[in-house]
Amino acid sequence: MNFEQHIQGTKPVLVIYYAEWCHLCQLMIPVLQRINEMKGDMISLFLVKIDENKRFAKKYNVFALPTLILLHQSQVLWRKNGIAPESEILEQLNLRAA
């Protein structure tokens, strides 16, 4: 499934824009994987390598790494530039599921 199909699905999608060379990104990925294990039935996780997907970065005005965006049916529900604590991400997911 490609990015556009993924974000138009029925489940909210948590997207992380990252780069291999970005230290903060590498710190966020295990956090997001844990969240995906806990909440995978209610959300999808999609990782976007910024160096390979500049078009999607431009579409969502991604200028900092990491950038987290929670989308549902292509609509932005929440956005965070930089590191986000697991608790903040879970809070946002729980708000959207309510």
Residues classed as catalytic:
22, 25
DSSP assignment of 24-61:
HHHHHHHHHHHHHHHHTTT-EEEEEETTT-HHHHHHTT
Give the number of residues written for the chain. Answer: 98
Give the integer Cα–Cα distance in Å for 49 and 52. 6
Q: Alpha-carbon distance 97 to 4, whole Å?
A: 22
